[in-house]
């Protein structure tokens, strides 16, 4: 969550989903690790699996936020 706050400002009501944004794919327990959600890495970058983590949130301190396009590439 700290990475998201640094990139997008203060956020609230964060929703994380594994693979695609659907209620059945939500990861609601913020105290669980990715491993506990079945997402495991590898010691080498070449052998590590690729997993999509989708997220949605509401900005804090902004009564009428404009739609935002988000990208990790910025």
* HEC assignment per residue over 2-47: HHHHHHHCCEEEEEEEECCCCHHHECCCCCCCCHHHCCCCCCCCCC
Query: Model-level pTM greater than 0.75?
Result: no
In a domain, 70, yes or no: no
Structural domains of the chain, count? 1
Residue 59 lies in a domain: yes
Domain that holds residue 14: 1-29+49-63
Is 71 within the bounds of a domain? no
- 21 within some domain: yes
- Does residue 19 lie in a domain region? yes
pLDDT tens figures, 27-62:
999 889 989 998 888 888 888 888 899 988 877 765
Contacts of 10 (CB under 8 A, 6+ apart): 59, 60, 61
Q: For 57, which DSSP code?
A: E
């Amino acid at each position: 969550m700290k990475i998201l706050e640094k990139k997008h400002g203060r956020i609230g009501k964060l929703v994380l989903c594994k693979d695609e944004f659907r209620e059945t794919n939500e990861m609601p327990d913020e105290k669980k690790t990715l491993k506990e959600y079945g997402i495991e890495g590898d010691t080498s970058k070449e052998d590590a699996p690729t997993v999509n983590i989708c997220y949605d949130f509401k900005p804090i301190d902004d009564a009428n936020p404009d739609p935002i396009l988000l990208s990790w590439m910025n």
